[in-house]
Structure 1
Amino acid sequence: MLFYVLLFLGIVSLWWHWKARDRMKVTNLTGKYIFITGCDTGFGNMAAKIFDKKGFRVFASCLTETGAKELKAVTSNQLQTVLLDVRDSDNVKKVAAWIKAEVQSEGLWGLINNAGIMGPSVPTDWLDIEHFREPIEVNLIGLINVTINMLPLIKKAKGRVVNVSSVGGRLAFSGGGYFPSKFGVEGFNDSLRRDMAAFGVKVCCIQPGLFKTALSNPANVMKEKEVIWNKLSPDIKMQYGEDYFQKDTVKKQKLSKICLNKDISLVVHCMEHALTSLHPRTHYVIGQDAKLFWNPLSRMPAVIQDFLLLQNRAELAVSHAK
């Protein structure tokens, strides 16, 4: 009995120590420079506003002039916006040179790689290579390119790199380029974290579940899926069944109602912890769907994953057998 009491007290002590360590903050961060990509809407837009209010000197990149103007209109004079398409290497190099001139010898405390797109999320045999190319170019190649160009400034400040991945980087549950791109982000994040440890640079990865943003808006996702469905050959449609799209739409709507997280500030709080904690976490899994379903499922044997994720395909197989 005494053994179990001591074991319990030991677990409680370790948990308390971890919580206390998790709350320790870096001091004197006011006025530090940070760069956030993808600030037109969603996580990046909210992060730029919040970090501006907290006293960081924010460089916020936007894809559109409209996004940049709207963000600038509601933030302080200290926040600076810049137009950036992460797919354009020349654009990335020019922005990096501009930031270098702004921060001078101080360096860059934080880089938040947030820019990303969803792309079509449909069965693989509905797609061509271009459907895969764009999400990979933006979510993975663009993220790597921005990071490489900013690393000298981050190393100078012994700062932080925060990469926004997804639970889709742990578990692929649809076709398209989004999931390969996020698996790539996870691999790059891990190798970068180990490469930069010797320089005092900390690298963190944020893995949100399904959040209510323009990127993952269920209506937009299904609209894009419908466009592709309507362009499919009669042969492919026959293989899936003419009523496949309608049935799949109903199922996806139900899934969205169950899984969709509405409070995007939860993701921004993780970004803040990654930038300000003395001991940031290597990975932040955020969202009830991610914590309770996607993340645990990603750690289970493939046979269990397939059983839970292949219900649509099972019905398809039955219809072919008939």
Structure 2
Amino acid sequence: MSATYAIYTSPNHAPIAYHLPTLIVTPYAHFVSYMQWYQLTLRYSYVHTNYNKESYLLTPSMMGDLCVAKMIPPPNSRYLGGPGGGPPSSDRAVFCEASRSLKWTINNNGIHAPVYKLLLPNPDMPGNDQPLFQISKPNPNAMWWSMFYFTYGGHLIPPKRIEFGRIQKNAVEGNGGGSGTRVTILGRTPEEKAVWQTLGEGNEDMVEWIVLCAALNLIDEEIIKAASVQRTRVPASESSYMSTGQNTGPVRQQPMQKPTGATNSNPSMRSTPNTNTRNPQPSGASKIPPKKKGFLGLKRS
């Protein structure tokens, strides 16, 4: 089993001051008619609420968007201005929960470069989470992030590192790949396929949520890094808008139904965070031209 996803800034949600952009996750494909492709393959949307203090991974439904996963980053780690600010927490763990009582943690414990470790609660040893897999660059100059896990062959044998996927910038738009980020989960060998059975047979979709949430968290942190650089070079009134990113996916011709509002913290229930009641964008925002794309395909100065 293998899968490839494209992640890009939603062309349907206008940038909003002090908020990270809404991201769209779809199966990656070369396409001719974007509208037809979009309607057939839209998988998830990733929205930020409460000034980025909570993030939701939603999936479309005939009865309204359904929340499949919720993420709570450390306090003020996603702060882009606006009310409720404060010093960032020293904690670097992002707490995640999804349908079917699934819970896990994304912990960035890198020193010189980010190393994201995904941990699941250990039912046999409460308080001692067990590692699931990791995400890091193979070297500081690499143009992709490697997703991998370790398999053990006994106490005398070093653990074997199994790379089962990558996160990298998409192909350029002219090549039919669109912009944004591509997440690829390999499935050529039995060891690569084994990641889908991490939570047991029949839970492949839950593994998909964990993988995508890790990739989306990584993208959020890359946007925050870009915003911190921008804030040192542009007026404060403009930097909050620019940090939300610009549309990097193809432009749609028809609007998509947006979440209409709910704050229920139980992710197993329908949850439709309100993305339309945030602060309006600054009046001069539309005059700021996009400059160049960053590593993960989101446009930055």
TM-score bin, normalised by smaller chain? under 0.3
- Which of the pair has the greater relative contact order for Cα pairs under 8 Å at 6+ separation? 2
Point out the structure with max Rg over C-alpha. 1
Q: Which has a greater percent of strand? A: 2
TM-score by length of 2: 0.26
TM-score by length of 1: 0.25
Q: Which has a greater percent of helix? A: 1
